[in-house]
């Protein structure tokens, strides 16, 4: 063990650990809250699980990995107890980066970090230390993608170490998915001469999307893995079962390597799917002229806000972000009060007000989440993005070229009846004007 004694709570009365979290927590607060703009979705759920979980129930948070400073900056947002060593997370950290000398080892051990060897497998020595944290009812954070990726790309295939911890834990942990963006701009991997900057950059936008807890029926999933794995060559072939994993017995079932692979794959895919949905639900605004605050699902807690209009409101159809924001980039509270119920107004103003830019709104997702988590788009302001996507792909795959003329045809062929009832007709007309300008070129 690498200085595991330094990670114990009673080491020197806990004073060194408290000093480390005080310093690192203050650093995270300064970078995330003061030097940059951070917005967080569903922070209340996260804070509740950190502060008041049922006794003995562990918390396992999983997130994408955008930079080497994701941890601790993830915990620097407003309202999070980032300087409280008792509430702080345990984290899996790369041995070749965080534990490469005695000073780093001692520092990161005090910071409740557990060394993990890349390529060492899910049954390496220090994974048992992480498992013990869960068995003690603690909070553990992992980056299941396994390495930093600074591209705006789908969540990659997850390593099975996180799934193995879920299965082997004495009490099934509460699994909370988190997806964030912006840290790749705060600490880019290739800033100057293909090296990271010496200090975090400022004036960047950070977004943290916190999902709802995932529920795993481990008993049922173990039974399914035991019955399925012998018939699936992807898990039972000699080539895939050559690492000689130890047989484990969760919930009274003996799991050989093939069954474990089947089980870990299933759990990892569910976590990956949840993270990808969170990543896709992230929204941004440009000049605030397209995102419709009544019909677009820009707040996952409440859904479309048209259902929360006050009794005195005349049910406006097209209200965009710039209509509810002041010139000083603050919520226009009188306008919000005239539109929505009081409790909804209080919820909106508790969200960090987005910072408009000079470009058009982008990534306007309009998901119908009433029937679960299925991705179903409606036809309001998302029409702009969908039309461009259809036109580009038709031009590419049917005609072998990308022409503005074809895009224009896609727009013009929309039935007039649909146009007459579409509340986003303003966005449609603006799109047509842009396409005509392209054709003129």
Let me know: does 404 contact 435? Beta carbons within 8 Å: yes
Cα–Cα distance between 378 and 363 in angstroms, integer?
A: 14
- Both 42 and 175 in one domain: the answer is yes
435 in a structural domain: yes
Cα–Cα distance between 150 and 68 in angstroms, integer?
A: 10
Q: Pull the structure tokens for residue 216.
A: 């795993």
- Which pLDDT score, from 0 to 100, does residue 53 have? 93
Given a cut of 70, the residues of the chain with pLDDT beneath it are 1, 234, 236-243, 280-285, 297-301, 303, 315-317, 350-357, 360-441
- Both 264 and 389 in one domain: the answer is no
- Both 420 and 273 in one domain: the answer is no
Let me know: does 136 contact 155? Beta carbons within 8 Å: no
Out of 216, 246, 281, a domain closes at 281
CA angle (215 as vertex; 209, 219 as ends), nearest 5: 155
- Both 8 and 137 in one domain: the answer is yes
- Both 272 and 415 in one domain: the answer is no
- Which pLDDT score, from 0 to 100, does residue 207 have? 86
368 in a structural domain: no
370 in a structural domain: no
Q: Which domain holds residue 239?
A: 4-281
- Which pLDDT score, from 0 to 100, does residue 19 have? 97
- Both 76 and 211 in one domain: the answer is yes
- Both 387 and 276 in one domain: the answer is no
Out of 248, 281, 314, a domain closes at 281
For CA atoms 241, 246, 250, 253, the dihedral sign is positive
pTM confidence score: 0.69
Looking at the structure of the chain, the number of domains it has is: 2
- Which pLDDT score, from 0 to 100, does residue 374 have? 34
Within a 13 Å sphere around the CA of 219, how many CA atoms are in the beta-carbon half?
3
The string of pLDDT tens digits covering residues 20-37 is 999 999 999 999 999 999
247 in a structural domain: yes
377 in a structural domain: no
Let me know: does 286 contact 362? Beta carbons within 8 Å: yes
CB atoms near residue 156 (< 10 Å): 17
222 in a structural domain: yes
The domain that holds 56 is classified in CATH as 3.40.1130
The string of pLDDT tens digits covering residues 334-380 is 999 989 998 888 878 766 666 666 776 654 333 333 333 333 333 34
The string of pLDDT tens digits covering residues 97-126 is 999 999 999 999 999 999 999 888 999 989
The string of pLDDT tens digits covering residues 195-226 is 999 999 999 989 898 988 998 999 999 999 99
């Amino acid at each position: 063990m690498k200085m595991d004694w330094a990670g114990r709570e009673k080491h020197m009365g806990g004073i060194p650990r408290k000093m480390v979290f005080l310093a690192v927590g203050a650093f995270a607060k300064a970078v995330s809250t003061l030097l940059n703009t951070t917005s967080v979705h569903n922070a209340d759920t996260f804070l509740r699980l950190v502060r008041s979980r049922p006794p003995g129930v562990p918390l396992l948070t999983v997130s994408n990995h955008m930079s080497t400073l994701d941890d601790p900056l993830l915990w620097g947002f407003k309202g999070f107890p980032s300087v409280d060593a008792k509430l702080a997370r345990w984290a899996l950290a790369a041995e070749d980066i965080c534990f490469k000398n005695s000073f780093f080892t001692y520092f990161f051990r005090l910071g409740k970090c557990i060394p993990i060897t890349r390529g060492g497998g899910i049954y390496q020595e220090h994974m048992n230390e992480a498992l013990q944290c869960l068995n003690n009812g603690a909070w553990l954070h992992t980056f299941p993608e396994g390495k930093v990726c600074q591209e705006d790309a789908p969540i990659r295939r997850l390593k099975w170490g996180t799934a193995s911890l879920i299965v082997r834990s004495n009490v099934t942990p509460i699994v909370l998915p988190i997806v964030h963006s912006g840290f790749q701009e705060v600490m880019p991997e290739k800033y100057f001469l293909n090296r990271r900057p010496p200090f975090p950059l400022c004036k960047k936008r950070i977004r943290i999307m916190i999902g709802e807890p995932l529920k795993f029926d481990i008993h049922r999933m173990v039974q399914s893995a035991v019955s399925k794995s012998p018939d699936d060559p992807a898990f039972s072939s000699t080539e895939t079962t050559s690492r000689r994993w130890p047989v484990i017995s969760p919930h009274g079932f003996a799991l050989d390597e093939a069954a474990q692979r089947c089980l870990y794959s299933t759990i990892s895919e569910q976590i990956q799917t949840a993270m990808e949905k969170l990543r896709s639900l992230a929204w941004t605004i440009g000049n605030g002229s397209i995102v419709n605050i009544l019909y677009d699902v820009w707040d996952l807690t409440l859904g479309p806000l048209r259902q929360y209009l006050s009794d005195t409101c005349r049910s406006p159809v097209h209200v965009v972000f710039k209509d509810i924001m002041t010139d000083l980039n603050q919520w226009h509270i009188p306008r919000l009060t005239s539109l929505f119920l009081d409790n909804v107004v209080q919820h909106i103003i508790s969200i960090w007000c987005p910072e408009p830019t000079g470009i058009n709104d982008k990534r306007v997702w309009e998901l119908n989440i009433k029937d679960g988590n299925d991705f179903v788009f409606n036809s309001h302001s998302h029409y702009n993005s969908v039309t461009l996507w259809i036109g580009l792909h038709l031009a590419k795959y049917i005609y072998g070229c990308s022409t503005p003329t074809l895009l224009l045809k896609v727009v013009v062929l929309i039935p007039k009846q649909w146009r007459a009832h579409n509340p986003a007709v303003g966005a449609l007309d603006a799109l047509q004007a842009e396409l005509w300008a392209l054709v003129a070129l």
